[in-house]
Structure 1
Amino acid sequence: MAEAEVPVENKPELPIENKPAANEDDDFVDPWTVTGKSDTGIDYDKLIKRFGSQKIDYELIQRFEKVTGKKAHHFLKRGIFFSHRDLHSILTLHEAGKKFYLYTGRGPSSESMHIGHMIPFMFTKWLQDIFEVPLIIQLTDDEKVLWRDLKIDEARKMAFNNAKDIIAVGFNPENTFIFNDLDFIGQCPAFYQNMVRIQKCVTFNQVKGIFGFGESDVIGKITFPSIEAAPAFSTSFPFIFDNKVLPCLVPCAIDQDPYFRMSRDVAARLKMPKPALVHSTFLPALQGAQHKMSASDPNASIFLNDSPKQIKNKINKFAFSGGQATVEEHRMKGGNTTVDISFKYLTFFLEDDKRLAEIKYQYESGEMLTGELKREAINVITPWVQQYQQRRSKITDEMVESFFKIRPIKV
């Protein structure tokens, strides 16, 4: 790959692509904090405008189905994956019979992931099956050491356990490579070299503007974005792509977009294609849609290792309700599905469109009470988690090592 042709100090300031401008009335969304300003949660249309991405509309979904010959995933149809950058270009590549690869990741911050963490991985698995393309999964255990009070060995252990959670989604080692930063980067010179190339393209002022870093932040935070950006360029993995330049599609939650705005801005100077993106909404916390589900609060999240009793208790006790104060008032006025967390969870995990529409009508008309809606959510999420746990129980250390092994995979 061509190196930069002039010294970095002589280069003009990098025009950060569609740098978001926010005011105090806007929702707060960055890679570490998500806070909505209203009971209905994040205003995703406003976020699209602020981030400068494109809405996934009906026409794009129709084109997706035409190009792939497959029905759109319910995450697409329901606006759970709602925004994109250059998804049309990926579809054009596929139409022409040309290859690309998928890249997504996870910052391990707990021994077990929660159901909200599964959304990008479920969709990534579907994309991989539809397009028959290779997948790179990055575990940013180094990020968690830098941002949290974690020791390196603790973060590495979490990454290994989270890898088991991810593999249980159904990924295949034949076309999937998983790595954790703290172990892999020292074993792959090409990856580190791309990190340095990216670092040369972005000034301190720019990284402060994108990520909001302050003068008291440790220097590791300043350089970390180059680590998350590097997998978006195929030359970071010569053992997989043989130094060939392949475009990349990144399925991720919208809070990770700043990393890839930066990646897209440096791509031309690295003589690499800009990574394309498809963004998901957040699965909200049990207490309300203003916050995403968090691994740091056990009462805000349904974890993948929760028992049926724990799931039932969490939803019944903590799930924010859109119902009225009394049964009589609810029968008369109906419930509000735009703020009700049980209904929001059903939009993610209940695949039956007809049944979801029935529940919406029954709750909004007052025919269905809050307790009954919570029971519907429990009856959908509990078997989903139990089926997942059965798959997870079969994931061995040896299986994880097969995904982590530096090797060629099917391209």
Structure 2
Amino acid sequence: MASVAPEVEKKEEEEQVVNPWEVSAGKGGIDYDKLVDQFGCQRLDAPLIDRIARLTGRPPHRFLRRGLFFAHRDLNEILDIYEKGDKFYLYTGRGPSSEALHLGHLVPFMFTKYLQDAFKVPLVIQLTDDEKFLWKNLTVEESKRLARENAKDIIACGFDVERTFIFSDFNFVGGAFYENMVKVARCVTYNKVVGIFGFTPEDHIGKISFPPVQAVPSFPSSFPKHFSGNDQLRCLIPCAIDQDPYFRMTRDVAPRIGYQKPALIESRFFPALQVNVFSEEQWFKALCFTA
């Protein structure tokens, strides 16, 4: 067998794949600096964190202070809006593929609760049971059952019931929501979606048609009962950075169909604790409920 040149071995070890359905890296773990450059987002720096504390009148969340949430898109614009006395809304979600949420799944929800409490803003939570049917070996019925089970864990996080709307795609998609989906779909070419998500000729068309479903909760007109007459309300999305491709696409399309670009605040992944890039002790400190 032919030997492999050292530089080739090094390149293979350093390769990482980060997309909504696959996260993998070499022995060194995820290179987040490389991801920030690759995705074109911005580092969440100390002045921005200090500004959040000043505007909310409370200490920044431990996930901010300890670097678990580390990147953003247009967070400064959301803070500008809030400082002027205007509101925004939050959007996050869960792809239900297991009975219960583990700590990694809970990170965005724990942080979203802090944002809702600190800024006193509405929140929509999308359960993408349709996505899990398309990507996993699950029936429609099982995907919907897992969505209901996951919703119980999400509700237990303690969100403001007067300001929170949780929905399943299988039960909710239609009407104004679907109108926005087809507007997005018409703006994204096949070549574009392949470039963003890496779809192959072997992928079925259900996967290729899914991204608009996750995009349109970023637009308040998708929820006419909750945001009637406020189609330009800005949206802030707390999520793990693997979800960024969905919203790069969304941000590209939004001005073309008359909507505001969503802003994002993005977290690291919750790795296996034996991975030594963010040590077990650091993860414990980041997640513990002490100040």
- Determine helix, strand or coil for the equivalent of 1:273: coil
Matches of residues 110-259 of structure 1 in structure 2 within 5 Å?
Answer: 110-185=98-173, 188-245=174-231, 246-259=233-246
> Which residue does 1:317 correspond to in 2?
none
> Which residue does 1:356 correspond to in 2?
none
Q: Deviations over 1:198-237 (max 9, x none)?
A: 0000001100000000111110101100000010000000
Shift of 1:127: 0.1
Whichever residue aligns with residue 91 of structure 1, its letter is L
Name stretches of at least 5 consecutive residues in structure 2 with no aligned partner.
1-10
Shift of 1:28: 1.4
- Determine helix, strand or coil for the equivalent of 1:284: coil
Shift of 1:62: 1.4
> Which residue does 1:283 correspond to in 2?
270
Given that 1:141 and 1:156 are in contact with CA atoms closer than 8 Å, whether structure 2 keeps it comes out as: yes
What fraction of aligned residue pairs are identical, expressed as a percent? 55
Highest Rg: 1 or 2? 1
Cα distance change of structure 1 residues 79 and 201 upon mapping to structure 2, 3 Å threshold? same
> Which residue does 1:87 correspond to in 2?
75
Shift of 1:46: 1.4
Whichever residue aligns with residue 266 of structure 1, its letter is V
- Determine helix, strand or coil for the equivalent of 1:101: strand
Shift of 1:345: 2.8
- Determine helix, strand or coil for the equivalent of 2:210: helix
Shift of 1:350: 2.5
Q: Deviations over 1:366-398 (max 9, x none)?
A: xxxxxxxxxxxxxxxxxxxxxxxxxxxxxxxxx
Shift of 1:168: 0.4
> Which residue does 1:393 correspond to in 2?
none
Given that 2:63 and 2:287 are in contact with CA atoms closer than 8 Å, whether structure 1 keeps it comes out as: no
Given that 1:237 and 1:243 are in contact with CA atoms closer than 8 Å, whether structure 2 keeps it comes out as: no
Q: Deviations over 1:240-278 (max 9, x none)?
A: 001412110000000000000000000110111100000
- Determine helix, strand or coil for the equivalent of 1:285: coil
Whichever residue aligns with residue 82 of structure 2, its letter is H
Shift of 1:348: 2.4
> Which residue does 2:85 correspond to in 1?
97
- Determine helix, strand or coil for the equivalent of 1:216: coil
Given that 2:43 and 2:72 are in contact with CA atoms closer than 8 Å, whether structure 1 keeps it comes out as: yes
Indicate yes or no: 2:286 matched with 1:348.
yes
Q: Which one of the candidate residues 19, 34, 38 is aligned to 1:30?
A: 19
Residues of 2 paired with 1:339 and 1:254: CA distance?
Answer: 16
Residues of 1 paired with 2:65 and 2:57: CA distance?
Answer: 16
Shift of 1:63: 1.4
Residues of 2 paired with 1:148 and 1:239: CA distance?
Answer: 32
Whichever residue aligns with residue 204 of structure 1, its letter is Y
Shift of 1:351: 4.5
Residues of 2 paired with 1:236 and 1:243: CA distance?
Answer: 12
Residues of 1 paired with 2:15 and 2:76: CA distance?
Answer: 29
> TM-score if structure 1 supplies the norm length?
0.66
Given that 1:234 and 1:243 are in contact with CA atoms closer than 8 Å, whether structure 2 keeps it comes out as: no
- Determine helix, strand or coil for the equivalent of 1:72: coil
Cα distance change of structure 1 residues 113 and 49 upon mapping to structure 2, 3 Å threshold? same
Residues of 1 paired with 2:230 and 2:115: CA distance?
Answer: 22
Residues of 1 paired with 2:121 and 2:77: CA distance?
Answer: 16
Indicate yes or no: 2:47 matched with 1:59.
yes
Given that 2:75 and 2:263 are in contact with CA atoms closer than 8 Å, whether structure 1 keeps it comes out as: yes
> TM-score if structure 2 supplies the norm length?
0.92
Q: Which one of the candidate residues 223, 242, 255 is aligned to 1:268?
A: 255
Whichever residue aligns with residue 35 of structure 1, its letter is S
Residues of 1 paired with 2:286 and 2:25: CA distance?
Answer: 19
Shift of 1:26: 3.4
Residues of 2 paired with 1:259 and 1:68: CA distance?
Answer: 29
> Which residue does 1:69 correspond to in 2?
57
Matched positions, count? 279
Cα distance change of structure 1 residues 344 and 38 upon mapping to structure 2, 3 Å threshold? farther
